[in-house]
């Protein structure tokens, strides 16, 4: 599986930040109309749900992670839906996988060896995830070690202080250094939006991260009090659109934390299609950071296949 386009970044442009304004009421009105105006039914819903699976970063980031747990998750990533269900839809030979698996650095080698030649990339959380409050040289070293172990994507956390104090050039230099440490791997910049205060600050942090070379911008670690939301997602994807208009470079988007149901996943996909276009419905430019979403999507697919829901435990994720 291709990791998608590489962001070359650009020079730090403070003037771009001066022009950023976010109308919170307009954002909320846009989001409230989203699900009301759009619905996906029947065969189309099956296709959209299968597309959502291909955009999941199947994730385990727990203190009790073990090699056995990670291997089970990797096997699920390679075969995310029971074969009998896929066969009913004529998709048994389609080779559907999740977009990636996401683990801590210590589990990268286990994940890489289990996934083998499947094409499913390993994403490693890095830079002192989730808070990022470790010495800078150690953050860079963690990135380099994960890449050396085979991670093709690195999910970094930014220093929230730089956003909260308006130290935008410091944030730019930090993300730029992380990008250089990634070498051939893609960089996904986690903004921890629930800790950044206002939508305006989220928008500016998004733009700075993209200027510095982030290949994806990501909402959350999944461990904040507030994680991915549709209003914040709208703010971030519109910055992606603005960056594309300014530079011609396509940047990916990853909402993470709290997305648990198939219905929510479809709403996010509709948002991406309406705001950025069809290309942003592919795993090269869109991912869900999720641990339990896959289970609900598989239950919905089984309902379409057999006309009834099964117990959740029949669709093990990890």
Tens-digit pLDDT profile for residues 225-267: 889 999 999 999 999 999 999 999 999 999 999 999 999 999 9
Per-domain boundaries in the chain: 14-310
Cα-based distances in Å from 118 to 5, 98, 114, 204 = 20, 11, 9, 37
| Banded pLDDT at 318 (limits 50, 70, 90) | very low
pLDDT of residue 22: 96
pLDDT of residue 38: 60
pLDDT of residue 178: 98
Helix (H), strand (E) at residue 245: helix 230-247
Task: Indicate yes or no: pTM above 0.85.
Answer: yes
Residues marked active site are found at 155, 218, 254
Residue 287's SS3 state is: coil
In CATH terms, the fold of domain 14-310 is TIM Barrel (3.20.20)
Q: Which of 151, 156, 111 is nearest to 3 (CA)?
A: 151
Give the position of tokens 């999944």.
222
In the chain, what is the straight-line distance between the N-terminal and C-terminal CA atoms, in Å?
Answer: 22
Distance CA 124, CA 146 (A): 7
Poorest-pLDDT segment among 3-12, 94-103, 170-179, 269-278? 3-12
Distance CA 100, CA 273 (A): 21
252 conformational bin, left if phi > 0, alpha if psi -120 to 50, beta if neither: beta
pLDDT of residue 307: 86
pLDDT tens digit string along 131-153? Answer: 999 999 999 999 999 999 999 99
């Amino acid at each position: 599986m291709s990791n998608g386009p590489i962001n070359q970044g650009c020079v730090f442009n403070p003037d771009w930040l001066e022009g950023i304004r976010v109308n919170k009421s307009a954002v909320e009105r846009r989001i409230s109309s989203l699900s009301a105006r759009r619905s996906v039914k029947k065969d189309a819903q099956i296709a959209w749900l299968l597309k959502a699976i291909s955009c999941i970063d199947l994730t385990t980031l727990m203190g009790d992670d073990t090699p056995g747990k990670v291997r089970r998750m990797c096997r699920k990533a390679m075969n995310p839906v029971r074969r009998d269900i896929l066969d009913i839809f004529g998709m048994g030979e389609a080779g559907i996988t999740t977009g990636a698996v996401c683990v801590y650095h210590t589990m990268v080698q286990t994940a890489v060896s289990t996934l083998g030649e499947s094409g499913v990339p390993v994403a490693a959380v890095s830079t002192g995830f989730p808070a990022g409050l470790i010495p800078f040289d150690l953050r860079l070293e963690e990135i380099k070690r994960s890449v050396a172990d085979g991670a093709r994507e690195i999910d970094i956390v930014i220093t929230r202080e730089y956003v909260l104090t308006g130290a935008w050039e410091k944030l730019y230099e930090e993300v730029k250094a992380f990008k250089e440490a990634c070498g051939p791997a893609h960089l996904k910049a986690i903004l921890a939006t629930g800790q950044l205060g206002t939508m305006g600050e989220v928008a500016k942090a998004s733009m700075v991260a993209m200027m510095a070379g982030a290949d994806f911008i990501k909402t959350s670690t999944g461990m904040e009090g507030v994680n991915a939301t549709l209003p914040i997602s709208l703010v971030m994807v519109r910055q992606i659109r603005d960056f594309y208009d300014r530079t011609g470079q396509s940047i990916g988007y990853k909402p993470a934390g709290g997305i648990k149901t198939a219905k929510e996943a479809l709403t996010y996909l509709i948002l991406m299609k309406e705001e950025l276009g069809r290309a942003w419905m592919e795993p090269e430019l869109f991912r869900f950071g999720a641990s339990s979403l896959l289970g609900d999507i598989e239950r919905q697919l089984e309902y379409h296949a057999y006309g009834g829901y099964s117990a959740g435990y029949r669709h093990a994720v990890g």
